A and B are shown apart, each in its own frame.
Chain A
Amino acid sequence: NAGVTQTPKFRILKIGQSMTLQCTQDMNHNYMYWYRQDPGMGLKLIYYSVGAGITDKGEVPNGYNVSRSTTEDFPLRLELAAPSQTSVYFCASSYSPAGEAFFGQGTRLTVV
């Protein structure tokens, strides 16, 4: 049972480049989330989704975009990367908002 799988694990981007962080889950969860984790700042919600075709902004959505065409996949797109987007990104999924969230292994992104 794979759970939540994120790719890549590490990435270095140059300022202005774009990239997509991939996230897939095999638990048939409707709820999926993208968080960023900065040192000493906890987890901040970027975007989330309650099912295919439905997404909404979280606390820190600027500079990011998402799509949810299937239940399994929830990619996060970074356009015009900036140094402020250097962070560790976690994708997560859950059966319900008030239930256990299962996290992927994280993507460490550095923008230089």
Chain B
Amino acid sequence: GENVEQHPSTLSVQEGDSAVIKCTYSDSASNYFPWYKQELGKRPQLIIDIRSNVGEKKDQRIAVTLNKTAKHFSLHITETQPEDSAVYFCAALDRGSTLGRLYFGRGTQLTVWP
């Protein structure tokens, strides 16, 4: 099955700075890569996703980049705010099975200091 590695496990930044979280995946057939944000005590929620036919996608202060050759993708948050503090999970869709399963990274605890 797919193996998703996520780094760093914790990240602290000053408000206004940028934050970058990186993930690698093992299955070259994977073609869908979402990012989920989970605030403390809440459920995970999708913040952005990218498909393998696109190299970059932006949504206001959030962007995701994908390098299919190197099998890695990254989440970029610019002008960070305290409300960005949360755990962020990357995931990759395993297309090796007929049903397709999401494999998640272990998460990154982002703390934004005011």
Stretch at the interface among B12-20, B57-65, B76-84, B102-110: B102-110
**Interface mask (A53-75 → B, CB under 8 Å = 1, otherwise 0):** 00010110000000000000000
The verdict on A45 contacting B106 (CB below 8 Å), with A98-B32, A103-B45, A105-B43 known, is: no
Interchain pairs with CB closer than 8 A, number = 57
**Interface mask (A79-112 → B, CB under 8 Å = 1, otherwise 0):** 0000000000010000001101101111000000
CA A105 – CA B42 in complex, angstroms?
7
**Interface residue range, chain A:** 20 to 34
Question: What number of B residues sit within 8 Å (CB to CB) of A?
Answer: 27
**Which residues of B20-60 are within 8 A (CB) of A?**
31-32, 34, 36, 42-46, 49, 51
Interface residues of chain A, those whose CB is within 8 Å of chain B, are 33, 35, 40-45, 48, 50, 56, 58-59, 90, 97-98, 100-101, 103-106
